[in-house]
Amino acid sequence: MLADIPVHRPSSLEEALALLADPPDGERPTPMAGGTDIMVVLNSRHVVPSSVLDLWKLDELRGLSVQDDGTLWIGALSTYRSIIASPLANAHCPALVEAARTVGAVQIQSRGTLGGNVANASPAGDSLPVLLAQGCDVVLQSRDGGRRTRSFDGFYAGYRQADIQPGELIIGFRIHALPPGATSWYRKVGTRLAQAISKVVLAGVAACGDDGTLTTLRIAAGSVAPTPIRLAAAEAAGLGGRPTDVAAAVGAGARADVTPIDDVRSNALYRREVSGRLVESWVRSL
């Protein structure tokens, strides 16, 4: 439990990064944002960190803004609730707002953060396919390495392996602007509408040219592979075609792209079939 572990409560990012770079008790503390994932781990006692770095007071990691190049900046500590309430998120990344509405229920949405969802690196994280489909850069910072920006595509080297180097914190996300005329899509399949970890989670961005053919088709999925993935075969099957002509092929591509497993929430057959059918019906509706 948290009561048994030393908790550092820095009041600035600089102080937080210094505590990670040069921990007072020798061992690097484990960052905690909203605590909605990490408290579950602490309570299970499967992993007991030597100390915790509570980021909650770092207001400089909160907030949303639109940059000059049209990207949407979301601070790592932004909660789902703040994303749902943000006119900027609703205008520039509506699929993320839809995803945020499906996370847990209002308590989790009030504490859980986008940075925590990404850093936790679960393949079932609801926001991750949205960030992949729309395109996003992750901004990280450490005291000694400074700031670095990297693409969210490839951020996970494998199951729960995020590219966060020792001493780094995620500072925020630059979500790419939707292409002109593009629409976005989000779909979570769970056992119920709230407090459900996804069996399958899908997100997409699509646009058609003047002749009605698909000029943009980006599709991503979670809970169907060790990491969230782009559905490359599905995208290739659809680009350049009319949505109603290519929808079935896109669905077949999605079935081929996913490599789901059987687990307590669902089974591989269901996940593959649902991925294909939902992607097909979305493309048919474009």
Ligand X SMILES: Cc1cc2nc3c(=O)[nH]c(=O)nc-3n(C[C@H](O)[C@H](O)[C@H](O)COP(=O)(O)OP(=O)(O)OC[C@H]3O[C@@H](n4cnc5c(N)ncnc54)[C@H](O)[C@@H]3O)c2cc1C
- Using CB under 6 A, list all residues that contact ligand X: 30-38, 40, 76, 103-104, 108, 111-113, 115-117, 119-120, 125-126, 164, 169-170, 195, 197
Kindly state the smallest distance separating residue 53's Cβ from ligand X, in Å. Answer: 8
Helix, strand, coil in percent for the chain, rounding step 5 = 35, 25, 40
CB closer to ligand X out of 35 and 260: 35
| Torsion sign (Cα): 285, 230, 202, 70 | negative
Query: Alpha-carbon distance 75 to 139, whole Å?
Result: 9
Q: Contact at 8 Å (CB) between 245 and 251?
A: no
Give me the least distance between CB of 226 and ligand X, in Å please.
Answer: 16
* Least distance in angstroms from the C-beta of 119 to ligand X: 3
Cβ 249 to ligand X shortest distance, Å: 30
Element (H, E) at 254: helix 243-257
Element (DSSP H or E) covering residue 201 = strand 200-208
Q: Which is closer to ligand X, CB of 16 or CB of 250?
A: 16
Q: Which is nearer to ligand X, 165 or 285 (CB)?
A: 165
- CA dist 18 and 149 (Å) reads 20
Q: Closest residue to ligand X, Cβ-based? A: 116
Measured from the CB atom, the residue of 96 and 250 that comes closer to ligand X is 96
Pick between residue 35 and residue 253 the one whose CB is nearest to ligand X.
35
